[in-house]
Amino acid sequence: MSMAQTPEPKEWILDEENELRIEIDFDTKVKLRLVTGTAEIFGTELGQNVDYEFSGRKIAIFTWHGCKLLVTGTCSVEYFAAETPMVSYLNMHLALEQRRVLASQGNNNGQGPRVLIVGPNDVGKTSLSKMLLSYGLRQSRQPIYVDLDCSEGSITMPGCLTATPLTEMIDVEEGFGSSATSAPTAGSAVMPLAYYYGFPSPKDNTKLYNVLLARLAKSVKRRLDEDEAAKKSGIVIDTNGLIDATGYEIIANCIKEFAVDVIIVLGHERLFSDMTRLHQKPGVSVVKLAKSGGVVERDSSFRRLTQNQKIREYFYGTAKSELAPYSTMINYHDVEILRVGEGSLAPSSALPIGEDRKVSETHVVKVEPGEHLLHSVLAVSNADKMQEPEILETNLAGFIYVSEVHEARKKLTVLSPCPGRIPKKFWWLGSLKWAED
Amino acid sequence: MYQHYQQQQQHYPGGQLHHGRETTDPNAVRQMYRRELASLTFNSKPIITSLTIAAGENVTASSTIVQAIEERLRTAPPGQKLPTLYLIDSIIKNVGEPYLNLFGRSIVSLFLDAYAVVDGATRSSFEKVLGTWPNWTTLLFSRDTIGRINHGVQSIHMQQSASRSYQPPALDNYNTNRAMPRAPEGPSGDNVLLQDIQLLMMQKQQAMIVNPGDQASSKQIDILRQLESIVKSTQLTPEHANMIRQQLAQLIVPVPPMAAPAPVPPYFQGGMPPMPPASSLAPPPPMPMPMSAAGLPFNIPPPGHFAGQPFPGPNGPAAISQPPSSQPPSAPPVAPVAAAAPPPPPPAAAASNLFASLMQSGLLGPNGTLSNQLLQNAVNLNRGSPSPVPAAATLPMLSVPIAPAQQANDLDLGVMSLGPIELTSQDIQRKRPAALQVMYGTPPLQCNQCGYRCPKAPDAQKKMDAHLDWHFRQNRRLKDKAKKSHSRSWLVNEEDWIHSREGDVSQSQQPVFFDMGSGINKTSKDEQALQEEIAALKESIVSEAELTHELCKGGVMTTSTALAAIAKGCSICMEKFVKVWNDVDEEWSYKNAMVVDNVIYHATCHADMVRSNLRKTALAEANGTPALSSTDSPKPEPVADLSPPTSSSLATESKSDVKEEEKKDLSNLVENGSSADHDMKELELVTSLKRKLEEDQEDQDQLATKKAILSE
C-alpha cells in the first residue's frame, strides 16, 4: 500500500462487552492496535500497544472491560455491536474448565471434555472452536483441536482431516499458526496430524470420510493415552456444516469414535432438538448456543479466496513470517500419483471447483502424470509402499504444487515447501487447484 | 508481580525530591550512578566493585547514591533484587560511613520489602547476607535494626509457609519495634511517621502478593508512596505528623500474636535464621486478637474495626481450608464480627479521612500539583475499595464434589468457586459476574508483547521468563529473515505424532523435523539453526568498498593499506578471502568477510572467537560471588530444573543441553551484536541468560547451605 492510500488511524471506544466487527478485503491491509483496556480476538487476548495486521479476514474484537482501539487502513465493513453471545461462550468454556479440574482430580478416568461443535455453514463453528481452545490455552491447558471440516482446512490445506495438539497461544494474526515451519512464526508452530480426504464435502466420498475419521480418532486416542496434559484438557472437534442425513450419520459416527461427551449445537433449533433426541443420554450433554450476530455468510468466492490464501500461506508464509519454498524438477517415473475412486479419469480441472465426480469406492487408482496435473496441489503421503487399504489411512507429509508440466521431457516442475528432495513418492491427487499469481 | 513492579517504576517519585539539597552537582552523580545501577541485573562482581568504588569516591553525594540504590532495590524485578543487596552489603562493608548511617535509616523496610517478594532460593541468599552483618569486624547496623530485620524475615517465613495464610506479618514486627528502645538513629517525629508509612506500605504489598487482584491495596500503595515522598520532602509540625499517624493507624491491620514466636536472638550464629518450628506453621487463629495497646503510641480502634479491610483478613485461611465455599478466593472475606462491632469506618473512608485531614493541615494545599494528584488518587481509592466481586457472595453453594482445596491450584479453585455450570442451554446463558475474574483477575503476570498472561503459580515467573525468551528468539529470527530463509518442514509420520510432544515454551523446542534418514536431523534444532547461520555467514558477501571504508575508519589505514590488508586474508586463520563479482550491485565483493575495530576477519572465525571468549566469561562470572566470604570450592551440579517436569519425552532433555543452547544463543547474539547493533531485544536475552546463570549459582549456594546445616 502506498503512503497516499494510508488513511488516518480511526479510533474506536468500546464499552464493556461490546464488539467491533471488521471485514478486510484480500488486497488491503489493516492495522489494529489496542490502546487501553482489554480486548480479545477469538479468545486470544491482545497485547496493549502492539500492532496487529490483517488481510482478507473477517474478525470481531471483543472487550469484556471496555477498550480503546485504533484501526489503520480501510475496512470494507466496520461497526460495533453491543449484543453478543459471548457470555454464554465464556460460560461454556468455564463449564469445560470445571470438567478439566474434575478430570485432573481423577474423576471421569482423568479424561477432560471431548467437545463436538455442530451446526450449519456460517454459524461461527470455527470461531467458537478457536475461542474455546484459546480460553483453554490461556489457562495453561493443552487441548487437541480436531478439524473435520474438509472444505476449509484451518490448519493445513482444504481436503484434510486433521488433529493438532495446541500448547501455545493461538496467534491472532495467523490463526492456528502455520504447521511445523522452521520459520520465525510469531504464533505457535504446530504439528498437525493430517489424513488426506481430497474432496470438499463429506458427501463426496462418505465411506472414505468415515474410514479416515475412525483412523484419526484412533490416533488421537493413542496420543491422549500418553499425553497427560492433553488428556486432561480434552479435545474440541470442529465439523463441516453438513446437517442432512449424511451429516447426521457422520455426527453419530464422530460421537462414537471420539467418545464425545459434550455436543454444542450452534445456531440451529431443529438440529438441537434432533441432537438432543438422538444423542442426549447420561454422560453426554447437548447444549445449544446462539450464533453471533457478527457471523457473516461467506459466499463461494470468499471461500475460494480464503482457500487460495491458505495454499499460498502453506508455501510462502504470511507477511509477518515469510517462507521460502523450493522449486524442483521431478521425473515422471520417480513418483506415483494416486487417486481414490474410479479408474477413468478426466482432468478434474474440467469441472468447476467444488464439484467433482461422485466416487463411492475406496480403492486406490494410479494416475498417469501429464498435462492435467498442471496447477494441482498434491498431497504427499507418508507411505513408503503401495499397499491397499493401508495407504489410504497413512497420514500426510505435506503438499506440493505442480507449477509446470514438461510433457516431452516427462518431467514436472513442482513447488516443495522446503529444500531437499521430496521425502516420499506417493502423491495424492484431489480436486485442489491453485493458480499461483 | 512483574506488572506490579512496572507500576512502581512508573509511579515511584521518591528520589527526585531530595537532590535539591545536594551541593556537588548531585544530578550528574545521580544520573551516572543510576545508569550504572541499571546494568546490575545479574550478580556481576565487576559492576558491584565499580559501583562500590564510585560510592566511596563520591561521599559528598552519598545521600543521592543511597537514594538511587534504594530506588533500584525497590523497583527492580524480584529476580534482580539480589545483586543490589550485594551492592549495599559491599558499600557498607567497604566504604562504611556515611553510607551506614544513610542505609541504616531504611534498611529494615528495604530489606524486608525485597525479601518478601523474592523466591525461595534468593531468600536464602538474602539471609546469608543478613547473617554476615552482626558479626562483621566493624559495627554495621545496630542490634535493634538487625533484630527487626530478623523478626520480619521470620514473620514473612511463617506467614507464607502457613499455606497461603493471609496474615500480614508486619504488625507483629511493628509491635516489637515500638516496645524496643529506639535505635540510636534518634527518632524524629518525621522518622517515626516515615516508618509507619513504610510499614503500612509493606503490609499492602504483602496483601498484593497474597492477592494480586487486590486493586484497592495497589492503589493504596501508590498513595502511600506519594505520602512518603511528601513527608520526606516537607518539614512537618509535630501535630501534623501525629495526625497523619493516627489516620494511618486506622489503616494498619492488627495481627494476632503469632503462635508463640520464640524471642528472636539478636544475632544469628550460623548466618541462617532459625526456622520456625513445624507446629507454628499451622494457620493462625481465625479471629484477630486485641493487640497490646501499651505497645502503641496512639489509639487503635478495637479489632472489629478491621473486619472490612479491603484485603483478605486473617480469617482467609479458614475459608480456604473449608469445603467448597461460595466465595472465590479473591473475594474479601466477610467477617462475622462486623455486625457486633461498632460501625467501623470502611478503609476507603479512613483513607479519605486521611486526605481530608492532610488537606486541613494545609499539608496538601490546593495549589500543589502533587496534592491534586493525591486527591485524584483518593477518589480512585474510594472507588477501588468496595468488594471487587460484589455478586460473588450471592452465588449458590458449590455442590460439585472437589478434592481438598490444597491440591488444586488457585486457578482451579477460581473456576470451581463459580459453582457448577450445568451444560444446559439455560444455565449456560446465565451471567456470572465472577466469571471474568477467572479469565482476567487472578494471573498477575502479563506479557507486554502479546497479551499472554501467566497463570498464577509458583513457577509463574519462570514461565514468563521462558515466554519472553521465546519472543526474543522469534524476534531475532524474524530480524534475520532477510539473511536466511525459512521453510515449512514436512510433517512427521503417525507414530511420531502420537509419541512426540511439542513441549512447553520453556524448552523453546521447535517441531520435530522430517526424518530424511540422514544423520543431520539427529542434531538438535538449535544446532541446526547454528549450522544454518554459519552457512549463511559463509555465503554472505561484503563489498570491497565497504570493507575498505571500515578499515580506513578513524584514519588507521589508507585505502591502499586497507586493500593490502584484505588481500592478506583473515587475521585469525590467515586464509585468503574469496572474491566474487556481485551482479546486483555490480561491484567486487568478498565472501565471509567482516571488519571489527579496523581488523579484518572471516565472519565465521570471528564468531567462533567471540563464542569461546564469551563462554569463558560466562563461566567466570557464574563462579564469582561478591562480598560473601563462604564459597565452597567443590560445587555439586545443581539438580533443580528450570521447568516443571512434564510427561513429555522431550522434557527429559537434560539441563546441560539447555545451557548449551543458551550459550549458543548468547554467542549468536554477539555475532549479531558485534556490528554495534545492540537493540533492546538482545539486551533482554543477555539479561535473562545471565539471570539463569545467576540462578544456577543460587542453586549451588542453597545446596552449600543445606550441606552446612546437615553437617551440624
Q: Is the pLDDT of residue B281 over 50?
A: no
CA distances to B20, B110, B367 from B114, rounded to whole Å, are 28, 6, 35
- The better pLDDT of the pair A132, B438 is held by A132
- pLDDT band at B232, cuts 50/70/90? low
- The better pLDDT of the pair B370, A28 is held by A28
Helix (H) or strand (E) holding B587: strand B587-591
CA distances to B123, B146, B185, B266, B380 from B142, rounded to whole Å, are 22, 6, 9, 10, 40
Q: Is there a contact between B424 and A140 if contact means CB atoms under 8 Å apart?
A: no
DSSP state of B571: T
Mean per-residue pLDDT, B465-487: 72
Which range, of B47-61, B81-95, B299-313, B671-685, averages the lowest pLDDT? B299-313
Residue A165 with chain B: CB contacts under 8 Å: 502
Which range, A150-154, B180-184, B280-284, B297-301, is most confident? Answer: A150-154
Percent of chain B with pLDDT over 70: 41
Q: A residues 381-400 near B, CB within 8 Å?
A: 382, 394-398
Residue B416 with chain A: CB contacts under 8 Å: 98, 101
Q: Would you mind telling me the total number of residues written for chain B in this entry?
A: 712
For residue B665, give the 3-state DSSP assignment.
helix
Q: Residues B590, B580: contact at Cβ < 8 Å?
A: yes
Q: Residues A190, A155: contact at Cβ < 8 Å?
A: yes
Query: Considering only CA atoms, which of B530, B500, B531 is closest in space to residue B513?
Result: B500
Which range, of B435-439, B555-559, B665-669, averages the lowest pLDDT? B665-669
From the list A287, A418, A420, the residue facing B424 with the nearest CB is A287
Please state, in angstroms and rounded to a whole number, the distance separating the CA atoms of residues B500 and B497: 5
A284 interface with B at CB cutoff 8 Å: no
Q: Which amino acids of A are annotated as binding site for ATP, given as ranges? A: 19, 58, 122-127
Q: What is the pLDDT of residues A329-344, one digit of tens each?
A: 999 999 999 988 754 4
Residue B496 with chain A: CB contacts under 8 Å: none
Residue in chain B closest to A181 (alpha carbons) equals B488
A162 interface with B at CB cutoff 8 Å: no
Q: Is there a contact between B488 and A325 if contact means CB atoms under 8 Å apart?
A: yes
Q: What is the pLDDT of residues B170-206, one digit of tens each?
A: 333 333 333 333 334 334 556 667 777 776 776 666 5
Residue in chain A closest to B501 (alpha carbons) equals A227
Query: Considering only CA atoms, which of B289, B301, B314, B109 is closest in space to residue B200?
Result: B109
Residue A315 with chain B: CB contacts under 8 Å: 488
Q: Is the pLDDT of residue B377 over 90?
A: no
The nearest CA of chain A is from the CA of B641 a distance in Å of 19
Q: What is the CA angle A200-A201-A207, rounded to 5?
A: 120
Q: Is the pLDDT of residue B468 over 70?
A: yes
- Which ipTM did the prediction report? 0.89
Residue B423 with chain A: CB contacts under 8 Å: 95, 262, 285, 287
For residue B42, give the 3-state DSSP assignment.
coil
- pLDDT band at B32, cuts 50/70/90? confident
Please state, in angstroms and rounded to a whole number, the distance separating the CA atoms of residues B707 and B712: 9
The nearest CA of chain B is from the CA of A262 a distance in Å of 8
Please state, in angstroms and rounded to a whole number, the distance separating the CA atoms of residues B293 and B37: 43
Q: Which residue is it, cell 522449486?
A: A327
Residue A193: strand pairing partners: A163
At B647, which amino acid appears? S
- The better pLDDT of the pair B50, A280 is held by A280
From the list B438, B453, B474, the residue facing A45 with the nearest CB is B453
Please state, in angstroms and rounded to a whole number, the distance separating the CA atoms of residues B648 and B641: 15
Mean per-residue pLDDT, B635-664: 41
Q: Which amino acids of A are annotated as binding site, given as ranges? A: 19, 58, 122-127
For residue B24, give the 3-state DSSP assignment.
coil
- pLDDT band at B262, cuts 50/70/90? very low
Q: ω into residue B636 within 30 of 0, thus cis?
A: no
- The better pLDDT of the pair B694, A357 is held by B694
pLDDT of residue A382: 93
Residue A146: strand pairing partners: A163, A237
Q: Which of A69, A91, A314 is best to mutate for the B interface (most B CBs within 10 A)?
A: A91
B503 interface with A at CB cutoff 8 Å: yes
Q: Residues A250, A160: contact at Cβ < 8 Å?
A: no
Which range, of A211-215, A230-234, B128-132, averages the lowest pLDDT? B128-132
pLDDT of residue B204: 66
Q: What is the pLDDT of residues A239-259, one digit of tens each?
A: 988 889 999 999 999 999 999
A228 interface with B at CB cutoff 8 Å: yes
From the list B400, B451, B501, the residue facing A98 with the nearest CB is B400
Per-residue HEC secondary structure of chain A comes to CCHHHCCCCEEEEECCCEEEEEECCCCCCEEEEEEEECCEECCEECCECCEEEECCCEEEEEECCCEEEEEECCCCEEEEECCCCHHHHHHHHHHHHHHHHHHHCCHHHHCCCEEEEECCCCCCHHHHHHHHHHHHHHCCCCCEEEECCCCCCCCCCCCEEEEEECCCCCECCCECCCECECCCCCCCCECCEEEECCCCCHHHHHHHHHHHHHHHHHHHHHHHHHCHHHHHHCEEEECCCCCCHHHHHHHHHHHHHHCCCEEEEECCHHHHHHHHHHHCECCEEEEEECCCCCCCCCCHHHHHHHHHHHHHHHHHECCCCECCCEEEEEEHHHCEEEEECCCCCCCHHHCCCCCCCCCCCCCEEEECCCHHHCCEEEEEECCCCCCCCHHHHCCEEEEEEEEEEECCCCEEEEEECCCCCCCCCEEEEEEEECCCC
Please state, in angstroms and rounded to a whole number, the distance separating the CA atoms of residues B160 and B164: 6
User: In the A/B pair of chains, how many CB contacts fall below 8 A?
Assistant: 229
pLDDT of residue A251: 96
DSSP state of B584: T
- The better pLDDT of the pair A22, B503 is held by A22
The nearest CA of chain A is from the CA of B521 a distance in Å of 13
pLDDT of residue A140: 85
Q: What does the block give as the cell for B652?
A: 527429559
Q: What does the block give as the cell for B427?
A: 444455565
User: What angle do the packed helices B215-233 and B238-251 form, to 10 degrees?
Assistant: 170
CA torsion A234→A238→A242→A245, rounded to 10°? -10
Q: What does the block give as the cell for B79?
A: 529476580
Residue in chain B closest to A218 (alpha carbons) equals B498
Query: Considering only CA atoms, which of B451, B448, B445 is closest in space to residue B212?
Result: B445
Residues 6 or more apart whose CB falls under 8 angstroms from that of B371 comprise B358, B359, B363, B364, B365
Q: Is the pLDDT of residue B212 over 60?
A: no
Q: What is the pLDDT of residues A170-191, one digit of tens each?
A: 778 877 655 555 544 444 467 8
Q: Which of B490, B527, B528 is best to mutate for the A interface (most A CBs within 10 A)?
A: B490
Q: What is the CA radius of gyration of chain A?
A: 22
B293 interface with A at CB cutoff 8 Å: no
A289 interface with B at CB cutoff 8 Å: yes
From the list B416, B481, B490, the residue facing A418 with the nearest CB is B490
Residue A227 with chain B: CB contacts under 8 Å: 501, 647-648
At B383, which amino acid appears? R
Residue A192 with chain B: CB contacts under 8 Å: 491
The nearest CA of chain A is from the CA of B504 a distance in Å of 7
Mean pLDDT of chain B: 61
From the list A94, A194, A417, the residue facing B415 with the nearest CB is A94
Residue in chain A closest to B424 (alpha carbons) equals A287
Mean per-residue pLDDT, B514-522: 34
Residue A140 with chain B: CB contacts under 8 Å: 411, 455, 457
Helix (H) or strand (E) holding B588: strand B587-591
Q: B residues 482-501 near A, CB within 8 Å?
A: 485-494, 497-501
Q: Which residue is it, cell 537493540?
A: B679
- pLDDT band at A15, cuts 50/70/90? very high
Residue B646 with chain A: CB contacts under 8 Å: 228-229
pLDDT of residue B162: 53
Residues 6 or more apart whose CB falls under 8 angstroms from that of A406 comprise A329, A412, A413
